[in-house]
Structure 1
Amino acid sequence: MDVDGFGALLGSEGQGLLQALREYEAGDELAVATRLRREHDAGLVGTALTQARLRQRGAAKFGADAGRMYFTADGVEQATRTSVAAHRAGRFRAAGAERAADLCGGVGGDAIALARAGLDVLAIDRDPLTCAVARANAESLGLADRIEVRCADVMTYAPRPGEALFVDPARRTGRGRVFDPEAYSPPLSWAVAAARAGAPGAVKVAPGIPHEAVPDDAEAEWVSDGGDVKEAVLWFGTGRPGARRATLLPSGATLTGRGLPDPAVRPVGRYLYEPDGAVIRAHLVAEAAEEIDGGLIDPTIAYVTADAPRPTPYATGYEITDVLPFHLKRLKALLRERGVGVLTVKKRGSAVQPEELRRRVRPQGPNAATVFLTRVAGAPSMLVGRPLEGP
């Protein structure tokens, strides 16, 4: 799809095709396309069909909005999930921002969240097609009065006084994901320098960014949604330089680092807690362990054990019924004795793959259990239990 092809899609004929494709089933694509090509230009039908597929993919990130939005293949892949973008936009608004520049704006997902939070947004991207898509999205969602889209090189942009800045460098190339922050486009060093001029400023980075790559004057926030870590953000101008925090969506619970030492290692108690991925990425397992009066089962494993159940939003709790040395025959016998047919396998610090374990033990029966393949005080071990009810 090029700019001209996308322009045709926005016309009345293109819109009619999109409407006709709105309810098609995935297996009906060929028949639907063949029928539509009898009455419409084949290229336009192909563009509409591609857009219908992208909207289906976009629903996972944008929900009902995806049915009115437009995407490119790269745009839907790299766009921020609505819930995460809304959280970030809310932080900008809470900091007093009234207008923002969204640098490397893509198809407009972050600009939409900022505009819905009440900010006036200038979204900048250098790709003409991406800019055309972002403009169409602002128009389709009724936000054209709040979002201006500019096609330009973000590295030439001069921030306006009092403007919040959000930078989302590209972390993928044609060869796949980029892991070196200086290989981002634009490089992380440039993005950080740009964000420092914001009021406030923020840079979206990969959740796996090394902590030593986080600037000393940045507040670093790791965000998960539904238990999946989605992004890390470097914040500038928030008044919390050097802070580390983990935010868990959809609840919005936030755990802030207090510089605690690593928890002590203790024998496995009756309860085991698995910290949220954002907590682990933010190196805040000690803070989560303090919340539940817990300790580690191994100095290198992020599983926390406790003697009493303590509700916490920062970790998922399990009641442990058995602690065994790693031995598949013993596990198989235990599961058969308990009538376990639904087996959830979790691993941390073990080379055994969950699928291989299930194949070896062949669980059968009406009951369910969770097994943790891990280390306890350095020894390969298996912990068997069940999830705690409640938070």
Structure 2
Amino acid sequence: MTEEPPGWRALLTQDGLDTLRWIAGERDAGRAASEINSSLRARGLPADQVAALLTQALLREKARTKFGDRAEQFLFTQAGLEQATRSRVAASHAERFRDAGCTRIADLGCGIGAESLALLESGIDPLAVELNPLTAEIASHNLRVAAALLGRPEPEVQVGDAEQIGPEDADGVFLDPARRTAGHSDTRRVSSPDDYSPSLNFAFDLASRLPTGIKLGPGFDRELIPDEAEAQWVSVDGQVVEMGLWFGAAARPGVHRAALVLNGATGSAELTASEDSADADLRDLGEYLYEPDGAVIRARLIGSLAADLNAGMLSEGIAYLTADQLVPTPFAQVFRVVETLSSREKDLRRAMSDRGIGSLEIKKRGADVDPAALRKRLKLRGDNHATLFLTRVAGKHVALLAERC
């Protein structure tokens, strides 16, 4: 069992929670962490407790990107926050179970409780299990806060091995297998699915009997995806955050590949298919260049997207599409190609200077170059902005100067 970090037990007391609220007020007022540290030590608080309080205050600030303003009332561990599902993604998981008619979902390996929170908010009873005692207490705190706001009974978090406790009388299961070594901080990713906890064999066995969702990393080995599963890659604001496997009634009939794109500006959109789509045919460079969202690339649905856009591939194996017409899409960023330049660095430096480009976004696929280092070497000066693509067209290296649409 992982050793409990010193000072953290105080966070679970009323005095600890009150002190966290005071720290948040001081932070909002602009006081530095060092000043707050001195004030807390002057009150007679031990050093380890002060360190735990300040760490928690910083984690709450960081957690706003995943939990919004609710983070101010929740508790976190560093490792728990890193692995926690974003609230909008967890809500989509809960919606699947609700649509499947589930009312009691076993959240096996609940961490700090992100998935159970979404289940609770959707009207489903979460049956949460967590191996680490401190993390379980933090999950209990978070669920207690949420239940009070919703006027619902507080769910219990069981402490123990998810594989030993199992789903009990749940009518569906969600698993977020730990993909990091045990601990509350300074963890590292495990290198093999065999080391996941709960194990994938255990998860797949449950999936053969109950509606099941399994949250995995976006780079999960596709060879390990069961044929009967729906695999859904999810991106949030351009970042691919997870790949979920769905089974039974939690999966959608006829869907085996999906790319869900969540964006703060455009909402949500999804591309689905019964299988991987074949890449589109190669074509000559058109006026527009499309950069597919990472979820579309991971799901291998570039061919489906190309068909929707009447676009073709720039080069074999390169995830850029090109077309003559502009078709707005939530599944790709779109650029107008201004001109084709020599990819030689000396020529690029001259071209940037001649055009007065002082701000340059550099994107690359199929080119062995460090964009940050190249940007520095180009010695950019001027008031204009552009995007530079370093890639291949029909297998040949090119530099494409473009502007965002």
**TM-score, reference length from structure 1:** 0.93
Q: Does residue 168 of structure 1 match 2:176? A: yes
- Measure how far apart 1:146 and its partner are: 5.3
**Change beyond 3 A, Cα 1:60–1:379:** same
- Measure how far apart 1:285 and its partner are: 0.4
Deviations 1:309-336, CA, capped at 9 Å, x for gaps: 0111111110001123421222222222
Aligned residue identity for 1:75 = G
CA RMSD of aligned residues (A): 2.1
Give the alignment partner of residue 363 of structure 2, picking from 340, 346, 360: 346
Q: Could you tell me how far apart the structure 2 residues matched to 1:258 and 1:122 are?
A: 32
Q: Does residue 188 of structure 1 match 2:200? A: yes
Give the alignment partner of residue 18 of structure 2, picking from 16, 19, 35: 16
Report the counterpart of residue 215 of structure 1 in structure 2. Answer: 226
Report the counterpart of residue 273 of structure 1 in structure 2. Answer: 290
- Measure how far apart 1:137 and its partner are: 0.7
Q: Could you tell me how far apart the structure 1 residues matched to 2:271 and 2:239 are?
A: 16
Q: Could you tell me how far apart the structure 1 residues matched to 2:290 and 2:224 are?
A: 29
Matches within 5 A, 1:226-237: 226-237=237-248
Identity of aligned residues (%): 40
**Change beyond 3 A, Cα 1:141–1:112:** same
Report the counterpart of residue 33 of structure 2 in structure 1. Answer: 29
Q: Does residue 327 of structure 1 match 2:338? A: no
Q: Could you tell me how far apart the structure 1 residues matched to 2:154 and 2:342 are?
A: 61
Report the counterpart of residue 253 of structure 1 in structure 2. Answer: 269
Q: Could you tell me how far apart the structure 2 residues matched to 1:239 and 1:345 are?
A: 39
Report the counterpart of residue 97 of structure 1 in structure 2. Answer: 102
The answer as to whether partners of 2:7 and 2:51 remain within 8 angstroms in 1 is: no
Q: Residue 24 of structure 1: SS of its match in structure 2?
A: helix
Aligned residue identity for 1:247 = L
Deviations 1:168-193, CA, capped at 9 Å, x for gaps: 10111266212422221222222222
Q: Residue 177 of structure 1: SS of its match in structure 2?
A: coil
The answer as to whether partners of 2:105 and 2:126 remain within 8 angstroms in 1 is: yes
Q: Residue 252 of structure 1: SS of its match in structure 2?
A: strand
Aligned residue identity for 2:235 = S
Report the counterpart of residue 302 of structure 2 in structure 1. Answer: 285
Aligned residue identity for 2:37 = A
Aligned residue identity for 2:81 = V
Worse overlay, 68-77 or 256-265: 256-265
Aligned residue identity for 1:217 = E
- Measure how far apart 1:93 and its partner are: 1.6
Report the counterpart of residue 382 of structure 1 in structure 2. Answer: 399
Q: Structure 1: 5+ residue runs without aligned partners? A: none
Q: Could you tell me how far apart the structure 2 residues matched to 1:239 and 1:247 are?
A: 14
The answer as to whether partners of 2:127 and 2:170 remain within 8 angstroms in 1 is: no
**Change beyond 3 A, Cα 1:161–1:41:** closer
Q: Could you tell me how far apart the structure 1 residues matched to 2:170 and 2:144 are?
A: 26
Give the alignment partner of residue 51 of structure 2, picking from 29, 46, 50: 46
Aligned residue identity for 1:286 = G
Deviations 1:20-45, CA, capped at 9 Å, x for gaps: 21133487222222222222331433
The answer as to whether partners of 2:120 and 2:147 remain within 8 angstroms in 1 is: no
Corresponding pairs, count: 387
Worse overlay, 5-14 or 109-118: 5-14
Q: Residue 207 of structure 1: SS of its match in structure 2?
A: coil
Q: Residue 274 of structure 1: SS of its match in structure 2?
A: strand
Q: Residue 32 of structure 2: SS of its match in structure 1?
A: helix
Aligned residue identity for 2:40 = L
**Change beyond 3 A, Cα 1:141–1:133:** same
Q: Could you tell me how far apart the structure 1 residues matched to 2:106 and 2:278 are?
A: 39
The answer as to whether partners of 1:165 and 1:197 remain within 8 angstroms in 2 is: no
